[in-house]
Structure 1
Amino acid sequence: MEKTYLPTVSTADKKWYVVDAENQRLGRLATQIAMILRGKNKPTYTPFMNTGDFVIVINAEKVTVTGNKGEQKLYRRHSGRPGGMKTETFNHLQERIPERIIEKAVKGMLPKNALGRQLFRSLKVYAGPDHPHAAQKPEVLSIQTIPGAKS
C-alpha cells in the first residue's frame, strides 16, 4: 500500500520571486501573491504547512485601482483608545506609506491563524525599485493583472 506524500519543512524548496507592482491592479496582484505565499502553485501544496515561496514586491507606490476607489476606498485603524479611529483614503495612504496598501491586501487573503502570520513574514514590500535581497538571487515573476493587455 502506497502512502501519501507529506512534505517536511526541510524538503520544502523555497524560492524567491520579485514582482513589479508598477501599473498593476491591487486586488488581482494581491491574489496572485497570496497564492505564491501559500504554495498553491506547487504540486507539494499542503494546506496546514508553509510550503510557499518568498515574494519581494517592488514599486508599491505605483500600484493602481480602478474607478473612483482612489478617493472612495478607506483604510481604517484604531489606536485602542476611545475615539481613536483613524480613517484615510487610498490616495492619501499611497502618498504616506505605499507599502502598507499591498501588505494589507495580501494579509487579508491569507489564513487568519498562526500559519497566516508565518506566511505573511515571507512577503517583502518596497515602495521603490530597489530591494536589499539581491543575495537570495530572486527570479523575476511576471504577473499580468490588466485583462486583455499584452505583457
Structure 2
Amino acid sequence: MQKQQKTAVVVDATNCIAGRMCSHVSKLLLQGNRVVIVNAEKAMLSGNHYKTIELYKEHLEINSVTNPIHGPFHPRRPDTILSKMVRGMVPKRKSSGMTAFKRLRVYIGVPEEMKGAKMESFSDSKITKPESYYISIGEIAKQIGWKGEQ
C-alpha cells in the first residue's frame, strides 16, 4: 500500500538564506511532499564573500589519491549545489531518505510549467540585511567553474 501522493510545493529561493531554506525543504520531503525549488541561483549565503569563495575552492581540491575519476564529485551548478545541501539534511542511506530525496526537483530560473504555480517561501529564511551582506549561489558557482546558461 502506497501513501497518497501530495501536491508539489513550489519554493522560490530568491533572497532566501540557502541553509535555512534547505532545512525547511528537507522536512517537507521527509513528510512525503514533492518539493520543487526554483531560482536556485538567487539563493543567498551569509558571511564574508572572499572567505566563502575560498572555502568552496578549497573543497574542490579534495579528490581521490589513486584516480580522480573515482570521485568525490563536486557540484558547480547552482541547482546541484542546492540539491547537495538538501541531501546532507536527509538520511540519504536509509530508504526513507532515498525516497524523500527522489521527490526533490531544483531548477535554475523558473521553468515553463511552473510559471503559473503559487510560489511559497519561508519567512524565517528570508534575508534581513541588505543584499550586499550576502553572496548568491550563482556568484559562487561562476567563481568555481560554472559557465552559466543565460
TM bracket (short chain): 0.5 to 0.7
- How many residue pairs match? The answer is 121
Given that 1:53 and 1:122 are in contact with CA atoms closer than 8 Å, whether structure 2 keeps it comes out as yes
Q: Which sections of structure 1, spanning at least 5 residues, go unmatched?
A: 1-7, 40-51
Deviations 1:99-136 (A, max 9, x none): 011101100110132221111110000011225467xx
Work out which of the residue numbers 93, 110, 119 in structure 2 matches 1:129: 110
Give the conservation status (yes or no) of the 8 Å contact 2:29–2:103.
Answer: yes
- Give yes or no for contact 2:13–2:121 (8 Å, CA) kept in 1: no
Cα deviation, residue 87, structure 1: 8.2
- Aligned sequence identity (%): 27
* Corresponding residue for residue 141 of structure 1: 120
Q: Distance in 2 between matches of 1:66 and 1:104?
A: 18
Q: What are the ranges of 5 or more consecutive residues in structure 2 without an aligned counterpart?
A: 130-150
Alignment root-mean-square deviation, CA: 3.1
The residue correspondences of 1:26-45 to structure 2 (distance < 5 A) are 26-39=18-31
Q: TM-score, normalised by structure 1?
A: 0.65
Give the Cα–Cα distance (whole angstroms) in 2 for the partners of residues 60 and 71 of structure 1: 17
Separation in structure 2 between the aligned mates of residue 83 and residue 13 of structure 1, nearest angstrom: 42
| Paired AA for residue 128 in structure 1 | G
Quick check: which one's helix share is greater?
A: 2
Q: Of the candidates 8, 21, 40, which is equivalent to residue 16 of structure 1? A: 8
Aligned ranges 1:1-151 → 2 under 5 Å: 9-10=2-3, 12-39=4-31, 52-68=32-48, 70-74=52-56, 75-76=59-60, 82-84=66-68, 96-111=76-91, 112-130=93-111, 132=113, 139-144=118-123, 145-146=125-126
Match for 1:127: what amino acid? I
Q: Which has the larger radius of gyration?
A: 1
Contact 1:15 1:138 in 2 (8 A): no
